[in-house]
Amino acid sequence: MRILVDLTKCQGYAQCAFLAPEVFTIQGDEALTYNPHPDSTQLTRIRRAAAACPVQAIRLDQLDGRDRSLHRDAAPSTAAPVEDSGGTFKKTGRIVIVGASMAGLRAAERLREEGFTGSLTLVGEEPHEPYDRPPLSKQVLAGSAPREDTSLPRHRDISATWRLGVAATGLDLAAKQLHLADGSRIGFDKVLIATGLRARPWPNAAEAALTGVLTLRTREDAATLRQHLARHPRRVLVIGAGFIGCEVASVCRELGLNVTVAEAGPAPLVAALGEVIGAAAGALQVEKGVDLRCGVRVLSLEGNATGQLRRAVLSDGTTLDVDVAVAALGAVRNVEWLADSGLACGVWGVACDAGCRAFDANGLVTDDVFVAGDIARAPQPMYGYQYLAVEHWGNAVSQAEVAAHNMVSPETERWPHLEVPKFWSVQFGTEIKSVGVPSVADEVAVVQGSVDTGRFLAVYGYKGRLVAAVAFNHNKWLDFYEPLIEQAAPFPPSFHHIDEPAHARPVPAGFKPAASPTQDATVVVTGHDPNERRARLTNGAADRTPSRSPTETSPLSKEPSP
């Protein structure tokens, strides 16, 4: 049996832990962890827990006990695409989804829920059916769930053709064909791009090849790292204190391992939460025994004669004896396969409108190409129409649903994706949750609880307007702030709060200024006549990794708009 808890909704009420204690556990004050693949003897208890959950966050696989075989396309279609003719597309059209993960699967389910009865193909480079990534840096690393148990539950049968273990290599929009690495082609009427991200490798290839130098993005990565941790290394070095780096460090301490975190910035989570709240995350790490070194870079990694990592040289002048180094340097967007597609894609992702329709390189919106999940860069009307890439689970789900709806809806019935971004993280027994976009803020104020007790809520403001709220073990209040963010409520809030600290004054939030739009120019404009003027992606817009130094990208990255 497979289950999934929508942790963006969960408020830690613990009804589930009370009703099915062998499946759900509350860690620390309010962080829920659960077994994603519990024994079927637990079914009745889980059903009771799902019914009792006040926010209806628990989902059960609807395909349990039914055929869940993944049909391979025996003869990939190369036929000429069918023209969309109004309602007939919904009945007989052809949709291809590229990227078979959270966004891809959710879009497929939603298409069927919307009544799409045409042909649906999911193409995924990984050989697995879609799985959930958040447990990889939590339950799987800690050893409480094997990697196989992370397969995503299904809301419904999607009757799709699955092409797994084969990458898409090109998108021919004129011929409406997707090219695959095995040489086959698939014709489509509409396509959804959901190819997400991959881990940014350690930049020195020889050092990255040492045994013990690892990254974390896939199931295989998690299983390999788990194996290394289970061998009780002398010390683990985590390079980069973004969410994944911090969660890895947290599991290391849970397992009783020595761990050093080297972060080039002034505090952990600084790109996502700013320096002030990042310092609170840093205090947690130090309290739990992490050797946290901020403002420090790893200069080199050294191995022994057999190619096993042995040492790391740091910019603070020290050398560490380490057996494992986890490069948690953020992610690279999987856009290379789109290099010749004519779409607006690059290191920033694939640009699309608020209705998930991709832009071409000229900035013109396309009709039949949609984008969702970590790869998408879309304007956020709530944040001054800034283009943001939101690399979080909740966004992959909600954006996929909007994209799927729009793919089968007439122009006048399309939806904008206006979901307020949310994320959660569990580290060092603390649940960190957020609504809104903290990284656009200039000020922050702790308005409930206190940083000293490790239980607080901070609100973020930009030019006198509320833009985000972040809770450390105080997440029940976030639902209150979400509509205030949507309504652009004044910052600092003028009302009094429960559990208000004596000094709730705003202070500078401590974000680095966003890169200037010209810093990573990737487009040139050519032609003089209005008929001829075209934007052209410069060489490597899609295949070049960013020129920035290797620090973790912000989960709500603020790289320049295309």
Ligand X SMILES: Cc1cc2nc3c(=O)[nH]c(=O)nc-3n(C[C@H](O)[C@H](O)[C@H](O)COP(=O)(O)OP(=O)(O)OC[C@H]3O[C@@H](n4cnc5c(N)ncnc54)[C@H](O)[C@@H]3O)c2cc1C
> If we measure between CA atoms, which residue out of 228, 227, 206, 225 comes closest to residue 217?
225
> If we measure between CA atoms, which residue out of 507, 469, 506, 510 comes closest to residue 486?
469
Residue 79 binding partner per list ligand X, ligand SF4, none, with a CB distance cut-off of 5 to 8 Å that depends on partner kind:
none
Q: Smallest gap, in angstroms, from Cβ of residue 159 to ligand SF4?
A: 30
Residue 10 binds ligand SF4 (CB under 6 A): yes
Q: Indicate the residue among 14 and 283 with the shorter CB distance to ligand SF4.
A: 14
With beta carbons less than 8 A apart as the criterion, state whether 507 and 459 touch: no
Q: Smallest gap, in angstroms, from Cβ of residue 315 to ligand X?
A: 26
Residue 55 binding partner per list ligand SF4, ligand X, none, with a CB distance cut-off of 5 to 8 Å that depends on partner kind:
ligand SF4
Neighbours of 547 (CB within 10 A): 9
Q: Which residues bind ligand X (CB under 6 A)?
A: 98-104, 123-126, 133-134, 136-137, 167-168, 194-197, 216-217, 244, 334, 337, 373-374, 391-394, 396, 423-425
With beta carbons less than 8 A apart as the criterion, state whether 333 and 199 touch: no
Q: Indicate the residue among 134 and 240 with the shorter CB distance to ligand X.
A: 134
How many residues touch ligand SF4 under the rule CB under 6 A: the total is: 15
Residue 113 binding partner per list ligand SF4, ligand X, none, with a CB distance cut-off of 5 to 8 Å that depends on partner kind:
none
Q: Smallest gap, in angstroms, from Cβ of residue 290 to ligand X?
A: 18
| Helix locations, 170-327, DSSP H | 205-208, 219-230, 243-254, 270-287
Residue 116 binding partner per list ligand SF4, ligand X, none, with a CB distance cut-off of 5 to 8 Å that depends on partner kind:
none
Q: Indicate the residue among 254 and 391 with the shorter CB distance to ligand X.
A: 391
Residue 195 binding partner per list ligand SF4, ligand X, none, with a CB distance cut-off of 5 to 8 Å that depends on partner kind:
ligand X
Q: Indicate the residue among 17 and 556 with the shorter CB distance to ligand X.
A: 556
What is the chain's Cα-based Rg? Answer: 23
Q: Which tokens hold the place of 274? A: 């700013």
Residue 309 binds ligand SF4 (CB under 6 A): no
Residue 15 binds ligand SF4 (CB under 6 A): yes
Q: Indicate the residue among 270 and 426 with the shorter CB distance to ligand X.
A: 426
> If we measure between CA atoms, which residue out of 459, 465, 513 comes closest to residue 481?
459
Residue 13 binds ligand SF4 (CB under 6 A): yes
527 Cα distance to chain centroid:
39
Neighbours of 356 (CB within 10 A): 29
Secondary structure letter of residue 438 according to DSSP: G
Torsion over CA: 432, 396, 552, 463 (sign) = negative
Residue 374 binding partner per list ligand X, ligand SF4, none, with a CB distance cut-off of 5 to 8 Å that depends on partner kind:
ligand X
With beta carbons less than 8 A apart as the criterion, state whether 74 and 105 touch: no
Dihedrals phi, psi of 459, to nearest 5 degrees: -110, 150
Of positions 8, 12, 100, 383, contacts ligand SF4 by CB under 6 A: 12
Q: Indicate the residue among 55 and 175 with the shorter CB distance to ligand SF4.
A: 55
Of positions 57, 309, 484, 537, contacts ligand SF4 by CB under 6 A: 57
Secondary structure letter of residue 315 according to DSSP: T
Q: Indicate the residue among 330 and 546 with the shorter CB distance to ligand X.
A: 330
546 Cα distance to chain centroid:
19
Q: Smallest gap, in angstroms, from Cβ of residue 8 to ligand SF4?
A: 11
Q: Indicate the residue among 152 and 279 with the shorter CB distance to ligand X.
A: 152
> If we measure between CA atoms, which residue out of 127, 113, 112 comes closest to residue 162?
127
Residue 55 binds ligand SF4 (CB under 6 A): yes
Residue 77 binding partner per list ligand SF4, ligand X, none, with a CB distance cut-off of 5 to 8 Å that depends on partner kind:
none
Q: Smallest gap, in angstroms, from Cβ of residue 23 to ligand SF4?
A: 10
Q: Smallest gap, in angstroms, from Cβ of residue 307 to ligand X?
A: 26
With beta carbons less than 8 A apart as the criterion, state whether 388 and 272 touch: no
Helices 393-407 and 102-113 pack at an angle, to 10 degrees, of: 40
- Interface mask (CB under 6 A) for ligand SF4, residues 181-200, using x and -? --------------------
Of positions 1, 3, 53, 264, contacts ligand SF4 by CB under 6 A: 53
Residue 278 binding partner per list ligand X, ligand SF4, none, with a CB distance cut-off of 5 to 8 Å that depends on partner kind:
none
**Site stretch for ligand SF4 (CB under 6 A), options 48-56, 136-144, 370-378, 478-486:** 48-56
Q: Residue 320's beta-bridge partner residues?
A: 312
Neighbours of 336 (CB within 10 A): 15
With beta carbons less than 8 A apart as the criterion, state whether 489 and 431 touch: no
> If we measure between CA atoms, which residue out of 388, 367, 335, 390 comes closest to residue 545?
335
Residue 16 binding partner per list ligand X, ligand SF4, none, with a CB distance cut-off of 5 to 8 Å that depends on partner kind:
ligand SF4
The span from the CA of 138 to the CA of 142, in Å, is 6
Residue 16 binds ligand SF4 (CB under 6 A): yes
> If we measure between CA atoms, which residue out of 404, 405, 438 comes closest to residue 420?
438
- Residue given tokens 């027994």 in the structure block: 429
Residue 12 binding partner per list ligand X, ligand SF4, none, with a CB distance cut-off of 5 to 8 Å that depends on partner kind:
ligand SF4
Q: Which residues contact 240 (CB under 8 A, 6 or more apart)?
A: 262, 263, 264, 327, 328, 329, 330, 550, 551, 552
Residue 313 binds ligand SF4 (CB under 6 A): no
Q: Which residues contact 7 (CB under 8 A, 6 or more apart)?
A: 32, 57, 134, 393, 424
Q: Indicate the residue among 347 and 445 with the shorter CB distance to ligand X.
A: 347
Of positions 1, 23, 31, 32, contacts ligand SF4 by CB under 6 A: 32
Residue 11 binds ligand SF4 (CB under 6 A): yes
Q: Which residues bind ligand SF4 (CB under 6 A)?
A: 5, 10-16, 24, 32, 53-55, 57-58
